[in-house]
Chain A
């Protein structure tokens, strides 16, 4: 016997969001072109806008990655900044190697800080970073490997909820302390800076800025599509099931440790990618990127935008950072209070974030 079961209609919200996202991407893509217009042109966009938007795009990728872990798999990571920073450091190592003899000390191979600290040879873990593909591989593999180890230990021991959050926070804090040490071989508290070029392109030029901007935008769209495709598979529904009733999923035969690990590692790799795109745009990476506050801020972006929806994560990253950029120049002392207040307000009044708010408004208009 066979009974017909029709497919459910696609949700209006989802269709609306998709259209909105498409328009947003087109607008973003136009920014570098508008930046190239003469300064007195009505549509001219300043360098500042392009560079700050380029950063936000990287944050949006980080938000997506966190949303995959938190919004879908229920892993509230308060240490995602660590994966972002590790990706950034891997890219930074590549950029440092590309400086070559152009450093202040003029050493043919060793970065300035190593000469300063009296290194005679390049440490083994710096080998290979002069090659772009190798560095890109590390951008993904290093955060992925850390997530694999931490995730395996935590998920296997069934550490969940607040304990897991504390663990991830401790992870990023420990890494921050480690990277502050000079003898780690990562430039101590100064980190890496004074980058010269990437892929033969001198950094700091409008052309480089535009290229990095486009690369980030492509990465954001790509990450979004990957996450969207993934969460629409049965795997995405398994994650939702684990998030809402992990023990029940186990009794259905799902090895939840494996499933969570898969999501967590993938998420860490995306965060690493975001960090790698971020560093050449801001021109510096230092241990401050591991600071626990960064990870918490990323959680707030996702919460504000609406966790469990990919569009929400992206929206949250852009809107909170736009607010931050404006506020830190308008009233710098206020920012942390506003950030905290925002989180409390969203938790209390907008559990589904801005996306949930739109959904509610749309429904009200429809009825």
Chain B
């Protein structure tokens, strides 16, 4: 797999006169793991909204490989190979953990294909494997609605894994996790990167440090600084707006 790069160039998003993204440019190379940090309201989630088709940019270019993402709707972008984990974990409460993962599992998405879908042994094994990876094996047949916040967080990560996307957008995965879980998540994301590209938004700097990769700092909708965690932590502009507070 040669993989596709993600390009954002001069992207702006204006909500009622407020610039949530302001001339944002960012390139994520195939296989790269990129951490994005920034204070509340910096535009991190909005950036993901733009990439996944939820929000149309007011200006700028968003491309995945050769594909212009601004022309596509959410399902088309998702089937293109871009998966997303939401900041506020969103799973299907009435369905079981297993069923949530089954829906996420990479497979044809049309109505007829879903009617005809037969859970093969291979698919079942894959779901079981993901269920174990996210530590929900004992809860596999419980409705997602009765899971704790942390477990929902894990389920969403599991859904992202089951989807097997080429680019993973992960919004605040470790919020509410224990230290051990945080470490596990970091190791998992590092393991995924290489064959997949990963963009992870996080406030937890320990976590970002554990990832040990390039960091982009967003502020007021544009890139304030970019580089290693040590580089950005010592950047005076970053210290001023974010770390120094």
Do A and B originate from a single complex?
yes
Give the CA-CA distance A250 to B78 in the complex, in Å: 8
From B73, B98, B112, B114, contact of A250 by CB (8 A): B73
The answer to whether B90 and A248 touch across the interface, beta carbons within 8 angstroms, is: yes
Any chain B CB within 8 A of the CB of A328?
Answer: no
Closest chain B CB from A233 CB (angstroms): 5
The answer to whether A1 and B99 touch across the interface, beta carbons within 8 angstroms, is: no
Q: A244-B93, A252-B103, A252-B104 are in contact. Are A5 and B131 (CB under 8 A)?
A: yes
Any chain A CB within 8 A of the CB of B238?
Answer: no
Contact with A along B98-114 (1 / 0, CB 8 A): 11001110000111101
Give the interface size class of chain B: 35 or more
Binds A, one of B4-12, B57-65, B120-128: B120-128
The answer to whether B124 and A253 touch across the interface, beta carbons within 8 angstroms, is: no
The answer to whether A5 and B124 touch across the interface, beta carbons within 8 angstroms, is: yes
Binds B, one of A102-110, A133-141, A234-242: A234-242
Closest to B119 in A: A234
Give the CA-CA distance A255 to B76 in the complex, in Å: 8
The answer to whether B92 and A2 touch across the interface, beta carbons within 8 angstroms, is: no
Give the CA-CA distance A245 to B52 in the complex, in Å: 16
Closest to A5 in B: B128
From B91, B114, B127, contact of A234 by CB (8 A): B114
Any chain A CB within 8 A of the CB of B94?
Answer: yes
Binds B, one of A204-212, A256-264, A353-361: A256-264
The answer to whether A237 and B75 touch across the interface, beta carbons within 8 angstroms, is: no
Any chain A CB within 8 A of the CB of B181?
Answer: no
The answer to whether A259 and B129 touch across the interface, beta carbons within 8 angstroms, is: no
Closest chain B CB from A231 CB (angstroms): 10
**Interface residues of chain B: helix, strand, loop or mixed (majority):** helix
The answer to whether A245 and B90 touch across the interface, beta carbons within 8 angstroms, is: yes
Closest chain A CB from B54 CB (angstroms): 8
The answer to whether A250 and B92 touch across the interface, beta carbons within 8 angstroms, is: no
Give the CA-CA distance A29 to B96 in the complex, in Å: 37
Give the CA-CA distance A234 to B92 in the complex, in Å: 14
Contact with B along A256-277 (1 / 0, CB 8 A): 1011001100000000000000
Q: Which residues of B contact A235 (CB under 8 A)?
A: 111, 114-115, 117
The answer to whether B114 and A258 touch across the interface, beta carbons within 8 angstroms, is: no
Q: Which residues of A contact B73 (CB under 8 A)?
A: 250, 255
Closest to A156 in B: B73
Q: Which residues of A contact B119 (CB under 8 A)?
A: 234
- Of A2, A3, A249, A262, chain B has the most CB atoms within 10 Å of the CB of A3
**Interface residues of chain A: helix, strand, loop or mixed (majority):** helix
Q: Which residues of B contact A245 (CB under 8 A)?
A: 90-93
The answer to whether B78 and A5 touch across the interface, beta carbons within 8 angstroms, is: no
Any chain A CB within 8 A of the CB of B137?
Answer: yes
Closest to A243 in B: B94
Give the CA-CA distance A262 to B75 in the complex, in Å: 17
Any chain B CB within 8 A of the CB of A124?
Answer: no
The answer to whether A259 and B111 touch across the interface, beta carbons within 8 angstroms, is: yes
Q: Which residues of B contact A238 (CB under 8 A)?
A: 103, 111, 114
The answer to whether A2 and B129 touch across the interface, beta carbons within 8 angstroms, is: yes
Closest to A242 in B: B92
Any chain A CB within 8 A of the CB of B84?
Answer: yes
Q: Which residues of B contact A258 (CB under 8 A)?
A: 110-111
Give the CA-CA distance A253 to B96 in the complex, in Å: 19
Any chain B CB within 8 A of the CB of A8?
Answer: yes
- Of A8, A253, A258, chain B has the most CB atoms within 10 Å of the CB of A253
Q: Using a CB-CB cutoff of 8 Å, which residues 1-44 of chain A contact chain B?
A: 1-5, 8
Q: A2-B125, A5-B127, A259-B111 are in contact. Are A248 and B75 (CB under 8 A)?
A: no
The answer to whether A234 and B117 touch across the interface, beta carbons within 8 angstroms, is: yes
Any chain B CB within 8 A of the CB of A116?
Answer: no
From A8, A230, A254, contact of B109 by CB (8 A): A254
Q: Which residues of A contact B110 (CB under 8 A)?
A: 255, 258
The answer to whether A3 and B131 touch across the interface, beta carbons within 8 angstroms, is: yes
The answer to whether A233 and B117 touch across the interface, beta carbons within 8 angstroms, is: yes
From B52, B84, B128, B163, contact of A2 by CB (8 A): B128
From B75, B103, B163, contact of A256 by CB (8 A): B75
Give the CA-CA distance A8 to B98 in the complex, in Å: 10
Any chain A CB within 8 A of the CB of B132?
Answer: yes
**A contact set with B: CB distance below 8 Å:** 1-5, 8, 230, 233-235, 237-238, 240-241, 244-245, 247-256, 258-259, 262-263
Q: Can you identify 6 A-B contacts, CB atoms within 8 angstroms?
A: A3-B132, A4-B128, A248-B91, A251-B75, A251-B84, A262-B112
The 3 A-B pairs with the shortest beta carbon distances in the complex, nearest first, are A253-B78, A235-B114, A250-B74
Extra contacts besides A234-B102, A251-B54, A263-B111 (17): CB < 8 Å:
A2-B125, A5-B137, A5-B140, A233-B114, A234-B119, A244-B93, A245-B90, A247-B54, A247-B74, A250-B75, A252-B104, A252-B159, A253-B75, A254-B109, A255-B110, A258-B111, A262-B112
